[in-house]
């Protein structure tokens, strides 16, 4: 590397992004472009940073593939901070292999972490887990280890494994302390707080109580028959009957579970499930059909018996019955609860699950998006909705540990 | 492609590279310091790092002196003074006191990497420009330009031979070139991934090479002139 590049890198390493920039501001050779890009990223000028890093990557020759790969990783991280998730996962994977082949393990791991976080943000939990699984955070620079553990914690939270999440967050905290990066420590603290916030309400005929994530996990793991209004389904132990696409059946199950051990009046069921105050003979017939369908679906978990005035839920094997509801009421809360599974939902799927019109859902989503509580990816018919990550996901740029120049 | 570079390409094909024989490694010299330049003052080896100039005894490997002047690239010694490329200038430094006695602009305006002293001139490598400039050490005026076909990361003169270090991607070599035409006369190939940043002969049969981000200085055996004949 040449003297001004070295001087600029020296300034950057000392945290002086402006000083770094000043030294190479007028140069357009690839190492200078890369340094300018990294300095710009640290100054929060993400779009400009990205463009500079792209130009740097293009400028490095075929024999400088290590430098090029580092630029690609830096660019991908800036894109992630911008929440632009359109980049190709294959490019990033190729960069990671190149770095691995050149024994640049720190930056290779960083590339894979970026890929895993991107999959998480895209709601592709399986891909995220597959990317994260082979990574070994031990023996890494602490800041990278902290990000790796935060990502693992997020993934564990998404799949409602709070003990795993807790353990990952403890390791993240320890790593963040070693890294002495205040922003990382704050992020770990925030993620830990998320574990203590009310995650759902348990409702029954007797009243309701607020549950934390651990308690939700414990309830779902228990033998109780849970009608889950957050994920829209009925479960007991390992058994799970998704009803997200059967809103009428879900409404019936929920009404029956909330009244348990009592029964529910036919007219009340019709009013609740069919959303009408004027029951007639056709609706009574339809109620019989729908109850029959629900009965067949949940037969291994519970029976539904007719009573003099309506129907009653009879869980098998003396199980308890619990209704899990979103922590607050309303369309928006229900949407957030549905999205909290971390998967990407289409508007029509959300509308179907909530039994609301697409218009209503669209409006609620727009309000949520304006306050940053949901995110959209894709456009038009390919548009999908996602909840923001539970752990708030870092936009701290770690950027390649070694600069793309040597 | 210009005629001169195609000629250089032919020369390069004609000269087969031999493996550089690394005799000894020193360092990493200090913490995270990467080595930007090396020189030899007759007894000690000086290495320019981010944290300052470090002199060590090549026999014991012990650091004997440090000067708090940051070095970004090449280093040279004229018998009395050290020269150090920093940012876009070349500082003339008194090795006893560490004070900068004079500064001249670097010919590459900051794109400079290698530096050596010979025949009353400073010779400066311009990294990605693939050039070596002979300059007047008093004024910085360019006296001559030699074109290479590789990145220049270090320059040294020994027994009338001009050698330069190159480091492109993963490939690094020490090259003897014709000071008139720039044609490659001899190539010593460094092991893959071993970069050269800064080059200096000890006047005898050793080269000292800066190891860039590794923070090391490596001693490489200079091939005997007789073996080449």
HEC states along A194-222? HHHCEEEEEEECCEEEEEEHHHHHHHHHC
- Laid out side by side, the sheet with B75-77 consists of B75-77, B82-86, B89-93, B100-105
Residue A28 has a pLDDT of 93
Beta strands of B94-201 (E only): which ranges? 100-105, 112-118, 121-126, 131-135, 142-147, 154-158, 161-168, 171-177, 184-189, 199-201
* Tens of pLDDT, residues A80-91: 887 777 788 899
Q: Which residues of B touch A23 (CB under 8 A)?
A: 87, 110
Residue A68 has a pLDDT of 92
* pLDDT tops 80 at residue A380: no
In three-state secondary structure terms, A137 is coil
Contacts of B153 (CB under 8 A, 6+ apart): A1, B113, B114, B125, B127, B164, B165, B166, B167, B172, B195, B196, B197, B198, B199
Of the pLDDT bands very low, low, confident and very high (cuts 50, 70, 90), residue A212 is: confident
Query: Bridge-partner residues for A396, per DSSP?
Result: none
The tokens describing A58, both together, are 């293009």
Task: Tell me if chain A has a CB within 8 Å of the CB of B173.
Answer: no
Chain-chain contact of B87 with A3 (C-beta, under 8 angstroms): yes
- The angle subtended at Cα A42 by Cα A39 and Cα A43, nearest 5°, is 90
Residue B201 has a pLDDT of 96
**Sign of the torsion formed by the C-alpha atoms of A268, A272, A274 and A276:** positive
Chain-chain contact of A66 with B169 (C-beta, under 8 angstroms): yes
* Tens of pLDDT, residues A338-378: 777 667 788 888 887 777 788 888 888 888 888 878 888 87
Q: Which residues of A touch B113 (CB under 8 A)?
A: 1-3
Residue A86 has a pLDDT of 76
Task: Tell me if chain B has a CB within 8 Å of the CB of A84.
Answer: no
Nearest to B87 among A4, A67, A103 (CB): A4
- The angle subtended at Cα B108 by Cα B102 and Cα B113, nearest 5°, is 85
% residues pLDDT > 90 (chain A): 32
The tokens describing A399, both together, are 């950027």
Task: Tell me if chain B has a CB within 8 Å of the CB of A406.
Answer: yes
Residue A391 has a pLDDT of 53
Interface of A with B in 16-45 (CB under 8 A): 23, 27, 29, 31
What mean pLDDT comes out for the span A36-57? 92
Residue B227 has a pLDDT of 52
Measured from the Cβ of residue B57, the count of other Cβ atoms closer than 10 Å reads 14
Task: Tell me if chain B has a CB within 8 Å of the CB of A105.
Answer: no
Chain-chain contact of A3 with B170 (C-beta, under 8 angstroms): no
Nearest to A3 among B32, B88, B170 (CB): B88
Residue A305 has a pLDDT of 92
Distance of CA A312 to the CA centre of its chain: 37
Instruction: Say if residues B58 and B202 touch (Cβ distance below 8 Å).
Output: yes
> What is the C-alpha to C-alpha distance for residues B211 and B215, in angstroms, rounded to an integer?
6
> What is the C-alpha to C-alpha distance for residues A271 and A389, in angstroms, rounded to an integer?
37
* Tens of pLDDT, residues A273-287: 888 878 788 898 999
Query: Bridge-partner residues for B172, per DSSP?
Result: B167
Chain-chain contact of A2 with B168 (C-beta, under 8 angstroms): no
């Amino acid at each position: 590397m040449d003297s001004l590049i070295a001087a600029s890198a020296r300034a950057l390493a000392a945290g002086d992004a402006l000083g770094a920039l000043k030294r190479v501001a007028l140069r357009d050779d690839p190492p200078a472009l890369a340094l300018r890009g990294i300095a710009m990223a640290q100054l929060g000028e993400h779009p400009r940073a990205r463009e500079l890093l792209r130009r740097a990557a293009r400028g490095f020759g075929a024999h400088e593939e290590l430098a090029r790969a580092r630029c690609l990783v830096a660019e991908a991280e800036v894109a992630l901070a911008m929440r632009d998730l359109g980049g190709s996962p294959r490019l990033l994977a190729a960069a990671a292999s190149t770095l691995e082949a050149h024994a640049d393990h720190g930056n290779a791991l960083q590339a894979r972490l970026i890929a895993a976080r991107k999959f998480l943000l895209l709601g592709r939990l399986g891909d995220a887990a597959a990317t994260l699984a082979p990574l070994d955070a031990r023996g890494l620079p602490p800041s990278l280890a902290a990000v790796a553990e935060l990502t693992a914690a997020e993934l564990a939270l998404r799949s409602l494994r709070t003990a795993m999440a807790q353990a990952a967050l403890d390791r993240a905290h320890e790593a963040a302390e070693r890294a002495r990066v205040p922003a990382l420590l704050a992020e770990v603290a925030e993620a830990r707080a998320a574990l203590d916030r009310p995650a759902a309400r348990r409702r029954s005929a007797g009243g309701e109580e607020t549950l934390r994530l651990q308690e939700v996990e414990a309830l779902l793991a228990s033998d109780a028959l849970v009608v889950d209004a957050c994920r829209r389904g009925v479960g007991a132990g390992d058994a799970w009957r998704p009803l997200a696409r059967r809103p009428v059946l879900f409404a019936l199950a929920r009404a029956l579970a909330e009244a348990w051990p009592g029964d529910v009046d036919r007219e009340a069921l019709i009013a609740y499930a069919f959303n009408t105050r004027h029951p007639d003979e056709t609706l009574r017939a339809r109620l019989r059909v729908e109850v029959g369908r629900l009965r067949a679906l949940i037969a291994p978990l519970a029976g539904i018996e007719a009573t003099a005035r309506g129907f009653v839920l009879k869980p098998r094997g003396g199980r308890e019955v619990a209704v899990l509801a979103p922590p607050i009421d309303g369309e928006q809360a229900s949407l957030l609860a549905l999205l909290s599974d971390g998967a990407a939902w289409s508007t029509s799927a959300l509308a179907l699950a909530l039994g609301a019109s697409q218009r209503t859902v669209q409006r609620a989503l727009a309000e949520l998006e304006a306050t940053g509580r949901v995110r959209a990816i894709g456009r038009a018919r390919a548009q999908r909705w996602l909840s923001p990550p539970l752990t708030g996901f870092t936009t701290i740029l770690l950027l390649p540990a070694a600069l793309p120049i040597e | 492609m210009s005629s001169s570079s195609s000629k250089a390409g032919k020369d390069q094909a004609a000269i087969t590279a031999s493996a550089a024989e690394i005799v000894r490694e020193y360092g990493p010299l200090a913490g995270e310091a990467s080595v930007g330049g090396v020189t030899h003052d007759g007894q000690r080896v000086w290495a320019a790092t981010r944290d300052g100039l470090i002199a060590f005894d090549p026999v014991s490997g012990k650091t004997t002196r440090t000067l708090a002047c940051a070095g970004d690239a090449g280093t040279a010694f004229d018998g009395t003074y050290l020269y150090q490329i920093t940012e876009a200038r070349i500082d003339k430094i008194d090795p006893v006191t560490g004070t900068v006695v004079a500064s001249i602009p670097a010919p590459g305006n900051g794109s400079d990497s290698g530096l050596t002293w010979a025949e009353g001139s400073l010779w400066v490598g311009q990294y990605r420009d693939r050039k070596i400039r002979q300059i007047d050490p008093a004024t910085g005026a360019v006296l001559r330009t030699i074109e290479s076909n590789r990145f220049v990361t270090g320059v040294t003169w020994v027994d009338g031979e001009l050698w330069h270090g190159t480091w492109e991607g993963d490939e690094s070599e020490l090259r003897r070139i014709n000071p008139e035409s720039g044609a490659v006369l001899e190539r010593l190939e460094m092991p893959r991934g071993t970069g050269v940043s800064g080059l200096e002969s000890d006047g005898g049969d050793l080269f000292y090479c800066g190891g860039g981000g590794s923070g090391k200085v490596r001693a490489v055996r200079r091939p005997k002139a007789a073996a080449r004949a």
